Chains A and B, each alone.
Chain A
Amino acid sequence: MTDSEKQDALESIALIKSHLDRSQKEMTHSGSGWICIVWGLYTFLGYAGSRLLHLAGAYLLAGLWWPFLAAIAFVVSVIVIRRKTATQSSKIKGTMTGWFMLFWIPLLLLIAALVALCGLLPDLPVKYSLPFILLVVSTGYLMVGLMFHKSLLAMGILGFAGTMVTTLFFIEQAGLILTLLFGLGLIATGFVLNRKR
Chain B
Amino acid sequence: MAEHLSTRLDKVLTQKARLGIMSILMVLEEADFNHLKDKLELTDGNLSTHLSLLENEKYVRIRKTFSGKKPKTLCLITDKGRRAFAEHINTLEKIIKSLPNT
A90–B98 Cα distance when bound, in Å, is: 40
Q: Mark A1-39, 1 if CB is under 8 A from B, else 0.
A: 100011011101101100110111001000000000000
- The B interface is mostly helix, strand or loop, or mixed, namely helix
Q: Are A88 and B31 in contact (CB under 8 A)?
A: yes
| B interface residue count range (under 10 / 10 to 19 / 20 to 34 / 35 or more) | 20 to 34
The answer, yes or no, to whether B89 is at the interface (CB within 8 Å) is yes
The answer, yes or no, to whether B11 is at the interface (CB within 8 Å) is no
Q: Are B95 and A19 in contact (CB under 8 A)?
A: no
Most interface-central of B34, B38, B95 (chain A CB within 10 A)? B95
Q: Are B28 and A92 in contact (CB under 8 A)?
A: yes
Most interface-central of A8, A16, A27, A86 (chain B CB within 10 A)? A16
The smallest C-beta distance from A30 to any residue of chain B, in angstroms, reads 10
A89–B24 Cα distance when bound, in Å, is: 11
Q: Are B23 and A13 in contact (CB under 8 A)?
A: no
Which residues of the partner chain B approach A9 to less than 8 Å between Cβ atoms? Answer: 92, 95-96
Q: Are A22 and B39 in contact (CB under 8 A)?
A: yes
Q: Are B19 and A16 in contact (CB under 8 A)?
A: yes
Q: Are B102 and A20 in contact (CB under 8 A)?
A: no
The smallest C-beta distance from B86 to any residue of chain A, in angstroms, reads 11
Which residues of the partner chain A approach B23 to less than 8 Å between Cβ atoms? Answer: 15-16, 19-20, 23
- The A interface is mostly helix, strand or loop, or mixed, namely helix
Count contacts on A: residues with CB < 8 A to the other chain.
Answer: 23
A9–B14 Cα distance when bound, in Å, is: 9
The answer, yes or no, to whether B67 is at the interface (CB within 8 Å) is yes
Which residues of the partner chain A approach B95 to less than 8 Å between Cβ atoms? Answer: 1, 5-6, 9
CB within 8 Å for A13 and B89 given contacts A23-B23, A89-B35: yes
Residue of A with least CB distance to B68: A86
**8 Å CB contact of B96 from A6, A20, A23, A92:** A6
Q: Mark B3-41, 1 if CB is under 8 A from A, else 0.
A: 101100000001010011001101111111011001100
Which residues of the partner chain B approach A92 to less than 8 Å between Cβ atoms? Answer: 28
The answer, yes or no, to whether A195 is at the interface (CB within 8 Å) is no
A20–B89 Cα distance when bound, in Å, is: 13
A129–B27 Cα distance when bound, in Å, is: 46
15 CB-based A-B contacts, threshold 8 Å: A1-B99, A5-B6, A10-B96, A12-B19, A12-B92, A13-B96, A15-B19, A16-B23, A19-B23, A23-B28, A23-B39, A27-B27, A27-B28, A88-B32, A92-B28
With contacts A1-B2, A16-B89 known, what are 10 further pairs, Cβ within 8 A?
A1-B95, A6-B95, A12-B16, A13-B89, A13-B96, A15-B19, A15-B23, A22-B39, A23-B24, A91-B29
B residues sitting closer than 8 Å to A (CB atoms) are: 2-3, 5-6, 14, 16, 19-20, 23-24, 26-32, 34-35, 38-39, 67, 89, 92-93, 95-96, 98-99, 102
